[in-house]
Structures are given as C-alpha cells and as structure tokens.
Amino acid sequence: MTTDSHTSSTSSVSSPYDTYATLQVSVVDGIAWVTMDSPPVNVLSLKLIADLSRFAAAVRHDEQVQVIVLQSANPNFFIAHVDMELVNQWEEAARVAAELFPEPSPLNVFQQLNEQWRTLPQITIGKLQGLVRCGGSELAMALDMRFAARGQAGIGQTEVLMGIVPGGGATAYLPRLIGRARALEVIAGANLFDADLAERYGWINRALPAEELDSFVATLARQMAALAPGVARAAKQAVDSVHEPLPVALAQGDALWQQLVFQPIATSKILGGLAAGAQTPAGERDLEGLLRSL
Amino acid sequence: MTTDSHTSSTSSVSSPYDTYATLQVSVVDGIAWVTMDSPPVNVLSLKLIADLSRFAAAVRHDEQVQVIVLQSANPNFFIAHVDMELVNQWEEAARVAAELFPEPSPLNVFQQLNEQWRTLPQITIGKLQGLVRCGGSELAMALDMRFAARGQAGIGQTEVLMGIVPGGGATAYLPRLIGRARALEVIAGANLFDADLAERYGWINRALPAEELDSFVATLARQMAALAPGVARAAKQAVDSVHEPLPVALAQGDALWQQLVFQPIATSKILGGLAAGAQTPAGERDLEGLLRSL
Amino acid sequence: MTTDSHTSSTSSVSSPYDTYATLQVSVVDGIAWVTMDSPPVNVLSLKLIADLSRFAAAVRHDEQVQVIVLQSANPNFFIAHVDMELVNQWEEAARVAAELFPEPSPLNVFQQLNEQWRTLPQITIGKLQGLVRCGGSELAMALDMRFAARGQAGIGQTEVLMGIVPGGGATAYLPRLIGRARALEVIAGANLFDADLAERYGWINRALPAEELDSFVATLARQMAALAPGVARAAKQAVDSVHEPLPVALAQGDALWQQLVFQPIATSKILGGLAAGAQTPAGERDLEGLLRSL
C-alpha cells in the first residue's frame, strides 16, 4: 500500500461508511476507496458478502461518489475465493441472502451481489495486487475495469477442481470479456493466470509494474472523479449501450451527448480550450494536459 | 509520406474526384487514396465533413474502386478532432447536415458521416501516422481497419475533458471493438493511447514501425484491390454477417461462397494453383505467393 | 511428436476407433487423441471429411471421452486446406455430403462438418504444429481452443486468392473470435499469420515454444479429463451461454452450479481442501496443486 492509497484511507473524517466489519471505506474528492480486510486471506464469507452488498446499496444513492476503487488491505490476496465453510452453512447462507436480496430472483446470492456491483451508476475499478480466485474473480469481473500488479497478482477460476462449475457469474462474464475459447480454457483448465497473461487474454485491462499499481489507479480514479458533473455517469451509461443493437446504441450515444453539449460548462470548456491553444500544433501535442489545466 | 504513397498520389491523371477543398483523391489500380489536407491540424470542420461525405456518396457507386485508404497530408495529425469552433456554429452545422443528409435520421451529423463510411461496399483502411482524437478517432473506427505508426501515432477519446461524452459513435463503436471494460477506461479516462497500447487493446489492427507503415498499407491495399472481381466486396459482406445469429451468418457465408465458387475464374485459379504445385509440400510452403503469381 | 503424444498414441489397446483411413485415434484416460494422417500435406479431402465426421458422430455418445485433441501426424501441416481437386468432383462431394448429413440443411458439407465438431459435448483442443489454411483453419476454429507452435505454425484464410470467399464458416467464426476489423484483414488480405501474431489477434488461445507444445497440450488435456464426472461437460455447456442475453446466461450458470454443488463429491473435495490447508496463506499459494492432489 503506497502513500497514495494510504493518504486516501486516512484523510476522510466524515465518511458515512464506517460501520462495516470487513471493509474500510473512505470517500475523498468523489472517490470511494473500499478496502477489504478480512484476515487471513479475505475469503468471500457471508460477512464480507453482507458488507459489500450493504455498501453497494448505500453508495448507489451517493451523488458525491463518482468512482469506486475496490482494493484489499492484504497485499497477497484480493479475495481468496468464496468461503469454503459455506458448504456446511447453506441455511445460514439462505438467511443472509434473503435479508440482503428480499426480492425473488432467478439468481443465487453470489450472482446477485455481483450484479448489484455491476449495475452501480458509479465507475468501479478493481485493484488486484495479490491473488484472486473463483468468487473473488467473479466480483472483480463485475467491476467496470481491473488493473493488476505484474509479478504479484494471480487470477484464477479454480472451481472445477472442487467438483463444481463457477456459480457466481464467471461462465457468463468471462466469455463476454475474453471470448469463448479462452474462457473455456480458463474455466475447465483451472490454472492460475499471472497479470501479463491475464492482460493478453483481456481478463484485466492492463498489467502494471507492481510498484506503479497504486499510483496508476489513483491517478485514473482522480481523473475520472474530476470530470464535470454527470459526465462520468453518462460515459458509463453510454458504454452500456453495447448490449443494444448498433442503431439503438448510436441513438443512445447521441441523446447522452446532446444532454451535455449544450450545457454552459461544456461551452466554457471548449472555448477555454480554444483560448488556451487547442487546434494549434503546439496546443494539440498534449491536449489532455491543456484541457485538464483549465 | 514515402515513395509508395507519393507515387500513388501523383500517377493518377483522370480522377473524377478532384473537386474537394480539404481532400486530395487519386484512384490507382482499384485503390482510392484519400488524403486529408486541412492545415494546421486537420480539424474535422464542416468543410472536411462535407468533403468526406460527398466523396463517400460518390465512391459508393464507383465499381472501379475496391479499396479506400484514408490518410493525412500532415504526418503529425490524422484528424485532430471535431472543430471546437462548432460550439459557436450550431446553425451553420445544422444547415450543412441538412444538405448532406436530407433524410430524417435519429443520428447526428457526425454519426451519419461515420455510418456513411462504415457502410461503404469497398474495403476501407485508416493509416494513422500522427495524432487522432475524438471525432477523428470515431471516423477511424468507422473504417474497416486501422494501422498506426509506432512511436508517432496517438489515439484518444478526449471528449469528457470538454464536459461531454463522445457524440460521433465512439460509445457504440469502441466497446464493440475492444470490449466494455477497456472502452470505459478509454472514454472516461481520456488519456492518449500510443500505437502499441492501442494494438494491445484491439483499438487498431496493428502497430507498425513508423518507417514501414506506408509500405505495409500500400501492399495490403494492393493485395485486396488485385482480387478477382467481386471478391473483396463479397469478403466484406460476408464478415458483416457477424451482426446476425450464427446460423444466419453461416448460411450467408455459404450463399456468398456459392456465388463465386462455380465461376470460371475460381475454377481456373484453383486448377492453375494445382498445376503450379499446390498440394505438394514445396508448393504449400508459400501458397500465397504461388496463387498470387498465377 | 514428443514422447507425450507418442505414448498416448500407442498405449491404447482396445480403441473402438480404429477403422479410419486418414485418422489414428487412441483413447487414454478420458482423452481421445485424434491424429490426422493423409500424406503428403493433409488436404481436407472427401476421405478425411468422412473420417472426421464419422469419428465425431461416434465420439459424441462416448461417455468415457471428456477431451478430444485434434493433431496431425505431419509436423509441417495440420491441414493444408480443402482438397482443390474437389473443383472437379462436385458430384462425388454431393454424394458424400448426402451420406454424412442426410438431414436437409441450409449449410454446405464443410460447414456441417465444422458445426458437428463445434457442438460436441466434449472439450476439443486443436494442436497446431505446422501450417493450416482455409478449410483447415475453419475446422480449427470449430474446436473449443487452439494452441500453436511458435516459429513453426502458420494459419491463413487464403481463399480469396482462389477467387472465392471462405465457404466453411470462417466468415462467421473469425469475426466472432477476433473482431470484425481483424477478421476482414485476415480474409481479404489472405496473408499467412505466424503463431505470435495469431495470438495477438486472438485467433489462437496461445503461441507456445515449439518444443513445449506437445507437453502443454497434454497437461491441459489431462487436467480437464481428470475432473470429477460431468464437470468438464458442464463447464463447456455453461460457457456456451455466451450466445444468450446476460440474465439468461447467469440463470443457466446458476442451474449448472446447483446441479453440482450439492453432490457428495463436491462436498468431499471442498472439505478435503479445507483439511489440506485451503484458506490459509500457505495453502492458498498453490491452491490448484493442493486441490489436484486430493
């Protein structure tokens, strides 16, 4: 955990999110830093499931939060996997599930948790420093994007070695993410993938040098959280049009664009960019820097 | 611009496409070389939009053209992005749009331009030597394929830094091209991607050494333009079946194959290939060369 | 062919699959090793088509077989391509097709063969040591996954150079596998791709050092074949939900998970894993090894 995350975790004084047994949550400048802390290896226990679900239910309505970073207090494990003790606790599991998700659903409790996170209006980022397997990988795939530490992170769907198939959504999420051929290799082969191979397969957005992971994710989260009001959420909504046929997706993109492009803030940024040198060879070299400095 | 492209641009004497203010077009051996030239940085102005649209409307019916290469006269910029001055020219923009696309449409003018290019019957190739952002990247994604110069090209969706989301189709095109996770990172993160990272994400077909980009694209374009009549267009049509369910896509593939396989030219190429050594270990080593030399 | 495959091919004494002119089949420990052997270059002749189809029809009902590895006896050629002599044998081809696939179908005989293989209940792996083009590549794409030898394997859709488009399914399979942009480059460009580039494009799962290909595939096949009864097939079935909308895919995943998770074998593996050290930092380091050793 570098200074970046450390600072984020301690500089929040008034978080409404400090009632979780297995999570530390701090909100700083539009970013919710959610740190899972359930020793020794962060198994996805009923407690962690309940905390993750209650946090998601609360943050969904928090207009102050634009970006959520999910990370682990344990550098060696993001989430080990679903708590294997559950095999002796199906009744307790059913009770917790009914409490968290009272509405009837064709999905099991792990899938419901993951779908709850996947459909958050905020942009969600998984920071994978250590190992993550099975139900932990499924939660990571329910996030909008994933970055992992080269040489340290490992990701696997290990369920078949326990005599089951993944039950929390991997069989649906993974082929959508990396294609059917590679998804079947991952799921039926049950081998651990390092960060580089996970990137080559498209399982994560990118493998990064371990010492840069914290600062990369912090920078990206801050860039997204610093966008003009409504823009980050509109971007997520627009990209979700991928589930629609192309003409519908284009029309949805146009509608979201039109909602924003005639706002005074857009006009002011565009004219400000022009005044600062956009559309000249020099200004265009680092247009991103130019616009961020406005 | 190497000799390859230079030769292409000057050896045409009778192009019907020489009336554009911002484009130079030359047609050589079935390839239309379209060079955007709108100093200082090739912004996608109403003028460039109009020229690109009028060219597309004309070339669609040109049976002589099998392949279109879109490139820039400016090695540093493919297209900077949509002209930011448009923020003060919405009426003029509406007038141009109504002229170019008189039919009612749920799409805006940028999307209509891109869809017009995307649905051309010819194979379209984008040659990205320099920077391309926002509306320029969206036009590049409406092309069939993209190749970029390592160390020189950069591609970005920068719109969120202007307080908007991409309006020309990126929110629909990009997740289809690189998946939802990476598309949201690109769009909400608004960072410039170099050619290698763009290739790793699948945004471009391939990053190439800058000094090889011209000759690579020229060779590929010539290979495609040299195919037997109707073959390049049938290939594009067949691949577009990806938007259909698999059984429909297979049936469409069979229909296109059957249209061609009983033609005398196919029979002659296949028998010529056999006579030249196909189906022997030696002949199969470079079957491509063997068939191209027939 | 290394010791791995050699052993596999010879240690079977009672295979019911030894009646093929162009295939050697041996079944060892749940894996069917299918070795194509049709000198000089393994063209996909009517004979090979018939053998491959008859094998698929038989193995589909073989509960002993969990994994099928398709490989070539010729290190230089997996399958050259469809027999070009067919251009003079359309009547014979129609006769064979009617025999193999008597039911009316909108698909041609090559597509029907590929769909027959694609829809096998077993997991299928293609081992690409040498060259594979056209109809051979289409069959390889109908397999669940493909691994290729770096520096030796080459894969291409060469059909357009014969005046046709691919007729055996590439125009449907390839854009699903590698996206429309790269698929059109492959099909209309007709260049041979080496293993590394094929991996970067997603055409194959992975390029491997040539000397490791046999052992990598053997290990992966054995891992999959060693899973508890029904698990490998359930994994394949679950991943095929990718063709359904996400909510349906999730519900199908849940149903398959529930079929397995309450079985005594799953309980015993999960409790055995716990007893062996799972959910401790040490046990989690190589959870795969821990679970496989139970």
- Work out the minimum CA distance from C149 to partner chain B, whole angstroms: 16
Of B259, B218, B266, B148, nearest in space to C160 by CA = B266
- Work out the minimum CA distance from B280 to partner chain A, whole angstroms: 32
pTM of the model: 0.95
Residue B213 CB coordination number (10 Å): 26
Share of chain C above pLDDT 90, in %: 93
ipTM for this model:
0.95
Residue A7, token pair as written in the block: 């600072």
Chains touching chain C through at least 3 C-beta pairs below 8 angstroms are: A, B
- Work out the minimum CA distance from C11 to partner chain B, whole angstroms: 31
Which pLDDT tens digit goes with each residue over A165-179? 999 999 999 999 999
Per-residue pLDDT band for C17 (boundaries 50, 70, 90) equals: confident
Residue B210, token pair as written in the block: 């800058």
User: Contact C51/C21 with Cβ under 8 angstroms?
Assistant: yes
Of A194, A187, A198, A128, nearest in space to A158 by CA = A187
User: Contact C184/C244 with Cβ under 8 angstroms?
Assistant: no
How many Å from the N-terminal Cα to the C-terminal Cα in chain C? 32
At residue A165, what is the residue type?
Answer: V
Q: List phi, psi (to 5°) of A21.
A: -75, -35
Residue B13 has pLDDT above 50, yes or no: no
Average pLDDT of chain C? 95
Residue A92 has pLDDT above 90, yes or no: yes
Which of C231, C239, C251 is closest, CB to CB, to A184?
Answer: C239
Compute the C-alpha angle C193/B277/B273, nearest 5°.
75
Q: Tell me if B205 and C191 make a contact (CB, 8 A cut-off).
A: no
Q: Which of C84, C164, C196, C243 to mutate to test the interface with B (most CBs of B within 10 A)?
A: C164
Residue A221, token pair as written in the block: 């989260």
Per-residue pLDDT band for C16 (boundaries 50, 70, 90) equals: confident
Per-residue pLDDT band for A15 (boundaries 50, 70, 90) equals: low
| Strands in chain B per DSSP E | 23-28, 31-36, 67-72, 77-79, 123-128, 131-133, 145-150, 154-156, 193-194, 206-209
Residue B235 has pLDDT above 70, yes or no: yes
d(CA B197, CA B194): 6
Which pLDDT tens digit goes with each residue over A236-275? 999 999 989 999 999 999 999 999 999 999 999 999 999 9
Average pLDDT of chain A? 95
Q: Which of B199, B254, B291, B292 to mutate to test the interface with C (most CBs of C within 10 A)?
A: B254
Which pLDDT tens digit goes with each residue over C71-105? 999 999 999 999 999 999 999 999 999 999 999 99
Per-residue pLDDT band for B224 (boundaries 50, 70, 90) equals: very high
At residue C169, what is the residue type?
Answer: G
Which of C160, C171, C179 is closest, CB to CB, to B202?
Answer: C179
Q: Which of B119, B271, B280, B287 to mutate to test the interface with C (most CBs of C within 10 A)?
A: B287
User: Contact C133/C158 with Cβ under 8 angstroms?
Assistant: yes
Which pLDDT tens digit goes with each residue over B136-153? 999 999 999 999 999 999
Which of C231, C253, C270 is closest, CB to CB, to A84?
Answer: C270
Indicate the domain borders of chain C. 3-225, 231-292
- The CATH code of the domain at A3-225 is 3.90.226.10
Q: Tell me if B158 and A254 make a contact (CB, 8 A cut-off).
A: no
Rounded to 10 degrees, the C-alpha dihedral A57/A58/A59/A63 comes to 120
Q: Tell me if A256 and B174 make a contact (CB, 8 A cut-off).
A: no
Per-residue confidence (pLDDT) for residue C12, from 0 to 100: 46
Residue B36 has pLDDT above 50, yes or no: yes
Q: Closest-CA residue in chain B for A283? A: B41
Per-residue pLDDT band for C15 (boundaries 50, 70, 90) equals: low
Which of C111, C161, C174 is closest, CB to CB, to B291?
Answer: C161
Q: Which residues is B82 bridged to in the sheet?
A: B44
d(CA C44, CA A125): 48
pLDDT (mean) for A107-127: 98
C-alpha pair distances (Å), B135 with each of B132, B142, B230: 8, 11, 32
Residue C72, token pair as written in the block: 């070539």
pLDDT (mean) for A267-286: 98
Residue A217 has pLDDT above 50, yes or no: yes
Burial A16-44 (b: 16+ CB within 10 A, else e): ebeebebbbbbbbebbbbbbbebeebbbb
Dihedral sign for Cα C142, C34, C238, C283, please. Answer: negative
Q: Tell me if A165 and C231 make a contact (CB, 8 A cut-off).
A: yes
At residue A175, what is the residue type?
Answer: P
User: Contact C127/C74 with Cβ under 8 angstroms?
Assistant: no
Q: Tell me if B189 and A253 make a contact (CB, 8 A cut-off).
A: no
d(CA A174, CA A161): 18
Q: Tell me if C232 and A160 make a contact (CB, 8 A cut-off).
A: yes
Average pLDDT of chain B? 95
User: Contact B67/B31 with Cβ under 8 angstroms?
Assistant: yes
Which of C227, C239, C281 is closest, CB to CB, to A41?
Answer: C281
Q: Tell me if C167 and B250 make a contact (CB, 8 A cut-off).
A: no
Per-residue pLDDT band for B16 (boundaries 50, 70, 90) equals: confident
Per-residue confidence (pLDDT) for residue B15, from 0 to 100: 63
Q: Closest-CA residue in chain A for C240? A: A180
d(CA C43, CA A24): 62
d(CA A282, CA B91): 30
User: Contact B1/B75 with Cβ under 8 angstroms?
Assistant: yes
d(CA B65, CA C148): 37
Q: Tell me if A287 and B133 make a contact (CB, 8 A cut-off).
A: yes
Residue B12 has pLDDT above 60, yes or no: no
Q: Closest-CA residue in chain C for B265? A: C163
Which of C123, C240, C247 is closest, CB to CB, to A188?
Answer: C123
pLDDT (mean) for B214-237: 98
Per-residue confidence (pLDDT) for residue A5, from 0 to 100: 44
d(CA B265, CA C81): 19
Residue A8 CB coordination number (10 Å): 24
Per-residue pLDDT band for C4 (boundaries 50, 70, 90) equals: very low
